[in-house]
Structure 1
């Protein structure tokens, strides 16, 4: 029996069964999840825009809390204050592990907030510090007589889609995985400031809401995760919904401008927002595939075979990142082409690729939890200690500076089984979403037409579990 490590964890763990049995079992679970869908494929289901939902704003207590301007203002002020603290700590604090900036950015914000968005709802449009700061200055300019505020009058080309967000998200993944020291506080602060300048320039050039929907990488990213989430914000007339993956998910101007009586804040089944019949903008397919490839690459580069074959130099790591993305994109597009052939669908290939791509988002969510979950547990504990001494200067403002993280809170065996379960669950949801897309694109051949995408889901399942089972090599 070969010793393995639960990926992202520091304890050794001997699998009680050979790894290949887990891989076969997970693949079989994904395949079996397709059987009920195949048996019911001839029956008409709900249209994509109709699904069970419960409006939380109908409850008076929740309406008073969730609709409170005071709560929104408090969240915005807190977001800007935290952003300022992270930058200040990174620039002026101790350049070591005592500084709160790196652990907050990488553990609490990047991992923790991502999981909050995916499993609760997309709060990013409310707490986005770049949107808040730009809005304050833009509003001031309008009150001083500048009718267009900070807008420079440029019109965003629709053909550009979300390609700027693709480029910035790729740069972020490169900074996380390839850059020499992404955990150095000063590097974190400088990267945040550089991205702030680019974001403010984009918002001023094309308008704040337009740039948030198309150019701001994290608004697009959190919008995707929000499509998976069980909470959505929408306007009762149906013209505004922030629970989808694209659309106004990044900025929600429709919801913000609607009267309180016209707003809905709904609970819905997980993944429903990804099954809505919405058109992905240009660059949407590469962006979604990059999200999945990025988290997979983060795990892959720490495996022994990657270190032995590729080596760890900036050039090879950059090349590896690009090739991983290209490979994922090529395999995905090949499966879409086969789906069209098997399903007898004669429509636009680009439309089919855009239709299927959101079905892989649950896989990315599952990998995000499985790969980073233990990192979040440790990072959250470090953040509790760090807020007492954010600059690493020996303070103890809240009395928690002496807190040391407990690395053995969860056994490696429990971590492995949780990871395996998450991977399988994410792929099962992906199979269901792919089935919904197939029945929409090729209703007469939905079962046969989904077989290539089902094969892709099984391949992703096996590959993801294999990565998680490898020892970590730093």
Structure 2
């Protein structure tokens, strides 16, 4: 493998490598987002249409048989466990150089970005390959306990807060820590995550995975945009319009925080690559070595403020319904937060597209030889990364804008349909304007950051 192909951690070391969107593309996209949003709101969508229990198109029987087979589920669990051990061994015993070690490459590329792509296509895949679930199944097999067994009931009041905190810890390591590409730092984070999740799963059962495992909650959230979903009888899987599946998104305490972390961290990643922000961080930490604690504190505060900004603006927009009791307004952010999922996914694909397609190839190559022993099982050692997007900037810009706009339109449709269900009839139109304008602000802000500020 040649040297350029192993430089896989530009994002993990602070910033996306994608080319900025041309200004004309960003302006046209913003105009489309605004006009389509108001057109949908006022003219095209008068009654609720989205339901998670629609019949859908049944998948072939052999597909459902294969997916439901215990052997398939055990194979997925075993594969996830083996891959986890494989990558951790690479971190512990592999080459010390970040660009040659498979752990950081897998951590930042295949896990963080690839998990979104896989979940959007196939549904919540982490549930199948989760190492914590695999170990819990082994423990139940040895002790004779049922898989649903829990020593302690998971507290309902916790909701999704542990998952939101875990995801914030991940993005903090990636975007604000002193040395995000450090093999030791990534290995430490991974081990803490595994120990916490395994202990929580054994003690609280699978409800811990469903509510507190950051990667399973992340996968399940974006997996609601998959065209694949359970049928009305839940005995088989069907194909249906993804926004129908989105209606089945479970919500609870911490759901707004979860969405704010995902959207706010991606926005901060774009923002932190702006020259003004970098100059500000450099001036604040002048005289300190690279990765000093002042710079870390400034980046951490910036990341936290961006997440809080998303959470506050969304919450205020949802509650801006006139003449509605305070108790009813307080419920609206949780009821409407699933509508942010398409915007989150669209922005993630727009921001990390090049990173996934091109640097994902490098991560896969490193996984073929995690201990740097010269292994070459697939004959890829002499292959270079195919820079299929970086060498076509016009195509890349068009794709990025398309992802943002499609995510925005789907988010507006989902929010509008949900508003028609949960808002009083006399406020179904006026009660949506603040939320619509907030979504337009997110989209235009995302385009501005992708444009390069």
Counterpart of 2:227 in structure 1 is: 230
> Greater relative contact order (Cα 8 A, min sep 6): structure 1 or 2?
2
Q: Structure 2: give runs of 5+ residues left out of the alignment.
A: 1-14, 286-294
Q: Distance in 2 between matches of 1:179 and 1:287?
A: 20
1:186 to 180, 184, 200: 184
Q: Distance in 2 between matches of 1:114 and 1:287?
A: 15
Counterpart of 1:251 in structure 2 is: none
1:8 to 16, 30, 43: 16
2:276 is the counterpart of 1:314: no
Q: Distance in 2 between matches of 1:324 and 1:14?
A: 22
Q: Relative to structure 1, is the Cα distance of residues 162 and 401 closer, same or farther in structure 2, using a 3 angstrom cutoff?
A: same
Q: Distance in 2 between matches of 1:70 and 1:149?
A: 16
Q: Structure 1: give runs of 5+ residues left out of the alignment.
A: 1-6, 241-262
Equivalent pair of 1:345/1:441 in contact (CA under 8 Å): no
Secondary structure in structure 2 of the residue aligned to 1:232: strand
Q: Relative to structure 1, is the Cα distance of residues 67 and 156 closer, same or farther in structure 2, using a 3 angstrom cutoff?
A: closer
Any runs of at least 4 consecutive aligned residues in structure 1 with deviations exceeding 4 A, and if so which? 147-152
Counterpart of 1:81 in structure 2 is: 82
Counterpart of 1:415 in structure 2 is: 396
Secondary structure in structure 1 of the residue aligned to 2:229: strand
Equivalent pair of 2:36/2:409 in contact (CA under 8 Å): yes
Counterpart of 2:346 in structure 1 is: 366
Q: Distance in 1 between matches of 2:218 and 2:67?
A: 24
Q: How far is 1:10 from its partner?
A: 5.8
1:394 to 374, 377, 383: 374
Equivalent pair of 1:37/1:435 in contact (CA under 8 Å): yes
Counterpart of 2:143 in structure 1 is: 141
Equivalent pair of 2:159/2:211 in contact (CA under 8 Å): yes
Q: How far is 1:196 from its partner?
A: 1.0
Q: Relative to structure 1, is the Cα distance of residues 223 and 288 closer, same or farther in structure 2, using a 3 angstrom cutoff?
A: same
Q: How far is 1:373 from its partner?
A: 0.9
Number of equivalenced pairs: 423
Equivalent pair of 1:386/1:401 in contact (CA under 8 Å): no
Secondary structure in structure 2 of the residue aligned to 1:348: helix
Deviations 1:175-204 (A, max 9, x none): 111122332333322221111111122123
2:223 is the counterpart of 1:275: no
Q: Distance in 2 between matches of 1:264 and 1:234?
A: 6
Scaled by the length of structure 1, the TM-score of the pair is 0.83
Counterpart of 1:94 in structure 2 is: 95
Q: Distance in 2 between matches of 1:152 and 1:55?
A: 35
Q: Distance in 2 between matches of 1:167 and 1:126?
A: 23
Deviations 1:57-80 (A, max 9, x none): xx2332343333333332222211
1:217 to 214, 217, 220: 214
Answer with 403-412 or 438-447: which moved more. 403-412
Q: Distance in 2 between matches of 1:229 and 1:14?
A: 27
